[in-house]
């Protein structure tokens, strides 16, 4: 299924989505928001964004978003790591 989104040109410019790769930028921003909401895993985000997880983490930081990793995640990891 393909979803097409259209924005008025002034809104696209304000959002920084003007230019030839606007569709790719908009797609990334949508995926980023899904990740922020916890509705998309990092691995799936990287897959859909067609970048490595390391590159994705760098790109996410440019948008003020970092790895979703809670204190509970750390505690769970400490239990299973030597």
35 DSSP 8-state letter: H
- CB 31, CB 40: distance < 8 Å: yes
- CB 36, CB 65: distance < 8 Å: yes
**Cα separations in angstroms, 51 against 46, 56, 60:** 5, 6, 12
| Pairwise CA distance, residues 39 & 45, whole Å | 10
Q: For the chain, what is the mean pLDDT?
A: 87
Domain boundaries along the sequence of the chain: 9-80
pLDDT band at 70 (very low <50, low <70, confident <90, very high): confident
Residue of higher predicted confidence among 60 and 72: 60
pLDDT, residue 17, reads 77
Q: CB under 8 Å to 26, separation ≥6 — which residues?
A: 5, 7, 15, 17
Residue of higher predicted confidence among 4 and 40: 40
pLDDT beyond 90 at 9: no
pLDDT, residue 20, reads 62
Average pLDDT estimate for 53-74: 90
């Amino acid at each position: 299924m393909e979803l097409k989104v259209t924005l008025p040109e002034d809104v696209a410019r304000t959002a920084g989505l003007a230019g030839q790769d606007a569709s790719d930028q908009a797609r990334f921003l949508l995926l980023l928001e899904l990740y922020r909401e916890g509705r998309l895993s990092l691995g799936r985000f990287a897959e859909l964004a067609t970048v490595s997880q390391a590159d994705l983490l760098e790109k996410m930081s440019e948008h003020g978003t970092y790895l979703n990793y809670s204190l509970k995640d750390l505690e769970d990891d400490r239990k299973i790591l030597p």
